[in-house]
């Protein structure tokens, strides 16, 4: 049996949400135990931090690393007819609109802390 992109993705009819909460928990625990330095996980790209500050959804959760600020949620969509750098989506209506356009598109939900620059991919799902 050969492996193609569709086989690895599970086929277009079987694509689903990929949740990264377990990896997040493991990483936070490693930082708290001192096995991974804070500088290794607090390295978000400046554009992600800008998006988190300006269009990111504010959460009730404190940053698990610095505990000085609330986390922000940023959603990016990548797919056909979108820029190579993806598109930052700020509203649910905009996300639904992108989901109705032809071609495959995938949404990536990232949490970010504007204070210490912690970031982590939370979920990935096809639109």
Q: What are the structural domain ranges in the chain? A: 19-126
Number of neighbours of residue 21 by Cβ within 10 angstroms = 10
How far is CA 22 from each of CA 18, 19, 36, 73, 121, rounded to the nearest angstrom?
11, 8, 16, 18, 11
Say how far apart CA 50 and CA 79 lie, in whole Å: 22
Would you write out the chain's pLDDT as a tens digit for each of its 127 residues? 344 445 445 554 556 889 999 999 999 999 999 999 999 999 999 999 999 999 999 999 999 999 999 999 999 999 888 888 888 898 888 888 887 777 788 999 999 999 999 999 999 988 8
Number of alpha carbons in the 13 Å side-chain half-sphere of residue 99:
11
* pTM check: above 0.75: yes
């Amino acid at each position: 049996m050969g492996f193609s992109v569709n086989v690895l993705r599970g086929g277009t009819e079987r694509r689903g949400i990929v949740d990264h909460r377990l990896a997040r928990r493991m990483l936070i625990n490693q930082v708290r135990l001192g096995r991974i330095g804070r500088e290794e996980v607090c390295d978000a790209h400046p554009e992600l931090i800008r998006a988190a500050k300006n269009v990111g959804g504010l959460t009730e959760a404190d940053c698990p690393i610095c505990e000085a600020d609330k986390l922000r949620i940023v959603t990016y969509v990548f797919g056909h007819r979108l820029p190579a750098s993806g598109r930052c989506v700020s509203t649910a209506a905009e996300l639904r609109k992108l989901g109705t356009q032809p071609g495959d598109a995938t949404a990536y939900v990232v949490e970010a802390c504007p204070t210490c620059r912690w970031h982590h991919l939370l979920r990935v799902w096809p639109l």
